[in-house]
Amino acid sequence: MAITLQFRDDGRWREVELRIAKDAVVAIEYTIRDQEGEVVDSSEGRSPLVYIHGYRQIVPGVETALDGLEAGHGIDVHVSPAEGYGDRDPDAIMILPRSVFPEEEDLETGSMFRAFRSDGKPVVFSVLEATPEVVVVDANHPLAGQTLHVNVEVLSVRPATANELAHGHVHAEEPRPSPDVS
Ligand SMILES: [Zn+2]
């Protein structure tokens, strides 16, 4: 059963149903498996993932599947590359001279590093191959090109505050709006 909160604004009661919809702050636990059933990512042993619904802060296929759910619900969804981490882009594989990396850095297949684009956004690279002369790196998301099986448990749903919507991210310490009990 959905929980409905009532707030009083300007002498009127406004109802907020705690179902997942645009502008809801949603806390989830998730497990992502690849086609072989191997766990490739999970919130287990970590803090839940908390995001603002409706802004593509999580992969589109999962976000759409969560629409309308409430705390306590769980879903299993298959996510295609188009609705997940995208297709693998061959142009994201680059060959760089070894000399651009610090000499003391240990580079081997599977090493990961981050670089920052000119707009400040981080790009994560993984090393496909390293030789004394060149390093082949891949900027594709490690899960790009894969159909994934995602299990999500919804822990909590609440309306985002005005501040959170203005900033575009969740504030851990944001005071929750409280019903007017007068
Ligand atoms: Zn903020």
- List the domain boundaries for the chain: 16-85+154-167, 90-138
165 CA to centre of ligand 1 in angstroms: 9
* Nearby residues for ligand 1 (ion, Cβ within 5 Å): 167
CA of 166 from ligand 1 middle (Å) equals 8
User: Dihedral sign, CA of 35, 37, 40, 45?
Assistant: positive
CATH class of 90-138: mainly beta
Say whether 90-138 and 16-85+154-167 share the same fold. Answer: no
Which two tokens mark 19? 């179902």
User: How many Å lie between the centroid of ligand 1 and the Cα of residue 128?
Assistant: 37
Task: Please give the Cα distance from 49 to 25 (Å, whole number).
Answer: 10
Using the predicted structure, report yes or no on whether residue 10 has a pLDDT greater than 90. no
Radius of gyration of the chain (CA): 21
Q: Which residue has the tokens 């989830």?
A: 28
Cα separation, 172 vs 147, whole angstroms: 32
Is 27:12 a contact under the CB 8 Å cutoff? no
Residue 83 Cα to ligand 1 middle (Å): 28
CA of 21 to the centre of ligand 1 (A): 20
Whether pLDDT at 14 is above 90: no
Fold of 16-85+154-167: Chitinase A; domain 3 (3.10.50)
User: Is the pLDDT confidence value at 37 over 50?
Assistant: yes
The whole-number pLDDT of residue 179 equals 56
Output the CA 176–ligand 1 centroid distance in Å: 15
Q: How far is the CA of 178 from the centre of ligand 1 (A)?
A: 20
Average pLDDT over residues 19-26: 94
Output the CA 171–ligand 1 centroid distance in Å.
6
Task: Give Cα 93 distance to the centre of its chain.
Answer: 23
Convert the pLDDT of each residue in 61-93 to its tens digit. 999 999 999 999 999 999 999 999 899 999 999
* Å from CA of 172 to ligand 1 middle: 9
CA distance 33 to 77: 11
Taking alpha carbons only, the member of 164, 180, 178 closest to residue 57 is 164
State pLDDT tens for residues 124-180: 889 999 999 999 999 998 889 999 999 999 999 999 999 999 999 999 865 555 555
User: pTM of the entire structure?
Assistant: 0.70
CA distance 173 to 116: 29
